[in-house]
Structure 1
Amino acid sequence: MKQAYVRERVRLTAEHVRKAQALVASGKVAGRGLDWADDRCQGLVLRVQRTSATWYLKLRSTTLRIGPVDGVDLAEARHRADQARLQVQRGENARAGLVTYQREIEAGTPDDIAWMSSVIDAETTPAPLSDAERRERGPWLWSDLIEEFLAAKAKKFKPSYTAKYSAYLRHAAFDAISDRPVSSLTISDLEACRNRAVKLNTVSAARRCVQQGKEALSWAWRYHSGVSGLADCQYEWWSRWSIEYAPRARDHVPTITDLVRTILVAEHHRTLGATEHATSDGTLGALWALVLTGQRTGQLTGTRRARAFPWPDRAGWVALNWEGGEMKGGKSGGRPHSLPVPPEAWAIIERHRRACEVAGKPVSPCLFPSIRGDGPVGQSALNQLLYRLEGRAKDPSKEKPGARRKKNSTAGRPREDLMERYGIAPFVPHDVRRAIATFLDERRLGGAGSAILAHRAARSEDERERVEHVTRLHYAKGQRLALKAEGMEAWVSAVLAAYETERLALFGEPVAMAA
């Protein structure tokens, strides 16, 4: 289901415009975006997205883009909206008029000449179809192409991935061509969008915009050439649309010392100088679980208590399991995955979970409860914790316009890099998987590591070393819990031994842990 904009009807003022610009500057717009509907000018909407703020005119049959907030003030937006509404009532093509006017203004044309050009185009261009009719009969605008393409792709994606994928095709860099017919686009138009994406974000983000934009155009050309307006294209000319970018392959393998020192530092520095940065027991439990099991953060942090079962083959062991849809893969994910957890590791996870319980309140169904609501800690919680330990946290007063820093808060101010102080090489959560795989491979347990991490790798003669594609395993007997247990026992023992050694070396006394 397509995520909707948060909508609010207000009397728009210059303050709303300033707030919209501040929200965009902070990059902290919630969800897909925010719509402020003006109660003075019928149909006028100020739409705020993460990278842009734009004026729109919403009518019964269509939505017209007026222009960017940075180039059009409130009074001008109301004037253009009134004129466009009258043009629609007269049966004229208001969309063509608005596009012409904005293009002429951006080209430096005097206002009166730009306005006359827009009036002429509105009168002479054939009246447009409604959005629904245009998408059915064509020719498509860029915005039609994107919505139709995303609707088709969503059928193949997990719901959690659809929003992430859509964000690149709904990027503000494409605003300039959203009302342009697909058939009218040129390589120069697409390259201008690419350059704007680089300016607004990063080269890597722009690369995703380019890749997915090319995929959308090719999809329309192959399967909907008639309605999309691409029927006369003899080849995929947009294949020339590219960006100079070479992704860096990550090869960092954190040592066990780095991992346990990170846990110790997180436990010792629960509050990093500001109450809003206090590390919860749920997040600490998730950090422990990440290091002990090496599971992917999205899969791991969302684990529910009901997915933990006693393993009858070994006393005290617990088997955690995840359904195929929760594993990495396409819409249906990979194969179900089960992981045996040694008693000493499970005791640590359970200790932190129990520390999250509040007297008089229902026990959370989550293995790593959030302090906000009854859900689990967020997938990004571990990344944010590592950022804070490196002293890289952002100032919350910059994230929400009008918000003020709490009294005596150190949020956003330069803080010490605790990773550097304790001699820890920075890493990201996914690097833990590489550490486990390397550790077990060096002990001729590469097959156990592969099964634990659900990895694909090469074959060898000994099953203890052989690395198979885990998605080929069956859920029951094919889970090979005994093989996984051999690897988990070796890894967990090494981690806990290193933890005790480093605890004495760094702090010389027991660290306060969850009760």
Structure 2
Amino acid sequence: MAATYVRERVRLTAEHVKRAKAMVAAGKVPGRGQEWADDKVQGLLLRAQRTSVTWYLKLRTTTLRLGSADVLDLDTARDQATDARLKAKRGENVRGALAAYEASVAAGDDEDIAWAVAEFEAMKAPPEVLSDADRRLRGPWLWRDLVEEFLASKLAKLKGGYRDQYASYLRHEAFRSIEDRPVASLTITDLERCRNAAVKANTVSAARRCVQQGKEALSWAWRYHAGVSGLADCQYEWWARWSIEYAPGKRDHVPTLTDLVRTILVAEHHRTLGATEHATGDGTLGALWALVLTGQRTGQLTGTRRARAFPWPDRPGWVAVNWDGGEMKGGKSGGRPHSLPIPPEAWAIIERHRAACETAGEPVSAYLFPSIRGDGPVGQSALNQLLYRLEGKAKDPGKSKPVTRRKRNSTAGKPREELLERYGVAPWVPHDVRRALATFLDERRLGGAGSAILAHRAARSEDERERVEHVTRLHYAKGQRMALKAEGMEAWCRAVLDAYQAEKARLFPEAMPLAA
């Protein structure tokens, strides 16, 4: 069920406004939001949402936005509500008048000037009410129109696995305060408020993506749809000033083999991390094993289909798994096809976890790492989420969702024991495995094999086995270099499995079978 507003009818006072702003500042707005209906002025609402406090006037056929509580005080909101009701009955351009009054007050004009501006706007013919489709065709666009039109153009050019993530930043709740604003009416102040709301709701990193993609959408509209978007009179891209202070951190952590295999053991030994949570699925455990054994990127790895695994005729018992260019990292067009030989012992672990996901009487999943929900693969973020839980974190700190009602005694979202710390494991992220694999093979004069396994670009060198390669593109002239990859995979997987058995005997001598 969709979240609803918590509503209360009261005689509004300045204290209610203060309380609403405090709720937003503290991040304690319940559900979809909190509303206070004034019992003095009919239809006047004070609405607190996650990032804003706004005055509204509820009429029989529509709801009018009066303005932000940061701009209009209670007395002014009551006056505006009374006046707006009369204007609406007379068929005047009430929305235009309200927006003009708010903008004038926000700009610092005195009350007389603001009223004059609003009255002038009200005398203009009210805009024709258009459907969303007509407005997007004829203009002028609202912010939400810009977002949907831009995404319709942009998403088709992105790789399938990235589309939802990309769209989520432009549909972020931080933009809710401007979603019904004409694009032409926006100012740098409006955009900076959205940026600040995104920082508050998530992280600076997430807010940076919101800013970058918002600027990209505005520039796209200005270049290709200036007239219909309402940006025809803009002489330059003023939103280029919209920015955020952000310096991305550079990761250089190289987890040890002990860290990696202990993490697997902890995940296997602590399948259920909370009394009311689902146990870690075999598909997710299989993906964790595959990550450590192969060092492949999670987006490519978790979506691997069973049909992409073939017996490798050059080495009995070995399996070759491949991914096409669209599944590999490499920008808009994807990367280059990549094949990876996997030793029998390593493949047996992956296959054992896959088989454990099968249910009698139901179709076998098309994926190597089936999800416990639906018929798709485990999600790209599943491994990150598993590692967060093992670290004792309630959730990915970079993500935030509206609060939902939890079941009684639920442990979801609550801090957990820091299991990795208990077992002496330094925290790591999936991409760190690639650094660990490359370092391990480079130290054994197999740097070229490591780069081939990780699908890095080859550099010029006399000895291909020792070659260290740049991280930009995939393999070229020598095809898939399967023999070279096999040499590296054999050394790495043997080391991983030996370390696993040694740590299992040390930490969990009573532990389950290898891939239980």
Instruction: Give the TM interval when normalised to the shorter protein.
Output: 0.7 to 0.9
CA contact (8 A) 2:29 2:48 kept: no
CA contact (8 A) 1:65 1:179 kept: no
Relative distance call for 1:55 and 1:348 in structure 2 (3 A) is: farther
Q: Return the letter of the residue paired with 2:170.
A: L
Residue 14 (structure 1) aligned with residue 17 (structure 2): no
Over residues 154-194 of structure 1, what are the superposed CA-to-partner deviations in whole Å (9 max), with x where a residue is unaligned? 23112332222222223333333334443443333332322
Once the two structures are aligned, what percentage of the paired residues are identical? 71
Residue 99 (structure 1) aligned with residue 92 (structure 2): no
Q: Return the letter of the residue paired with 2:361.
A: G
Which residues of 2 match residues 308-323 of structure 1 at below 5 A? 308-323=309-324
Which residues of 2 match residues 33-432 of structure 1 at below 5 A? 92-100=92-100, 120=119, 123-129=122-128, 130=130, 131-393=132-394, 401-406=404-409, 410-432=411-433
Relative distance call for 1:212 and 1:462 in structure 2 (3 A) is: same
Structure 1 position 464, deviation (Å): 2.4
C-alpha distance in 2 between matches for 1:52 and 1:490: 57
TM-score with structure 1 length normalisation? 0.77
Relative distance call for 1:51 and 1:363 in structure 2 (3 A) is: farther
Q: Return the letter of the residue paired with 1:421.
A: R
Contiguous gaps of at least 5 residues in structure 1: 1-5, 16-20, 35-46
C-alpha distance in 1 between matches for 2:161 and 2:427: 28
SS at 1:320 equivalent: strand
Q: Return the letter of the residue paired with 1:461.
A: E
Relative distance call for 1:451 and 1:171 in structure 2 (3 A) is: same
CA contact (8 A) 1:137 1:227 kept: yes
C-alpha distance in 2 between matches for 1:66 and 1:339: 61
Relative distance call for 1:54 and 1:494 in structure 2 (3 A) is: farther
C-alpha distance in 2 between matches for 1:383 and 1:441: 27
C-alpha distance in 1 between matches for 2:100 and 2:482: 66
CA contact (8 A) 2:352 2:515 kept: yes
Structure 1 position 298, deviation (Å): 1.9
Relative distance call for 1:282 and 1:69 in structure 2 (3 A) is: farther
SS at 1:464 equivalent: helix
Q: Return the letter of the residue paired with 2:126.
A: A
Over residues 455-496 of structure 1, what are the superposed CA-to-partner deviations in whole Å (9 max), with x where a residue is unaligned? 23643232223437554538xx71221121111111101111
C-alpha distance in 2 between matches for 1:458 and 1:27: 55
SS at 1:487 equivalent: helix
Relative distance call for 1:470 and 1:312 in structure 2 (3 A) is: farther
Who is 2:466 aligned against?
465
C-alpha distance in 2 between matches for 1:370 and 1:28: 32
C-alpha distance in 2 between matches for 1:429 and 1:392: 16
C-alpha distance in 1 between matches for 2:92 and 2:422: 68
Q: Return the letter of the residue paired with 1:159.
A: G
C-alpha distance in 2 between matches for 1:307 and 1:443: 30
C-alpha distance in 2 between matches for 1:235 and 1:296: 40
Who is 1:455 aligned against?
456
SS at 1:392 equivalent: coil
Cα RMSD over matched residues? 4.6
C-alpha distance in 2 between matches for 1:161 and 1:502: 37
C-alpha distance in 2 between matches for 1:186 and 1:169: 17
Who is 2:14 aligned against?
none
Q: Return the letter of the residue paired with 1:405.
A: R
Structure 1 position 338, deviation (Å): 1.3
Structure 1 position 308, deviation (Å): 1.0
Who is 1:42 aligned against?
none
C-alpha distance in 2 between matches for 1:482 and 1:459: 19
How many pairs were matched up?
A: 478
Contiguous gaps of at least 5 residues in structure 2: 9-22, 34-46
Over residues 43-81 of structure 1, what are the superposed CA-to-partner deviations in whole Å (9 max), with x where a residue is unaligned? xxxx99997899999xxxx99867799999xxxx9xx99
Relative distance call for 1:89 and 1:513 in structure 2 (3 A) is: farther
Over residues 326-362 of structure 1, what are the superposed CA-to-partner deviations in whole Å (9 max), with x where a residue is unaligned? 2223444222221111000001111112222223333
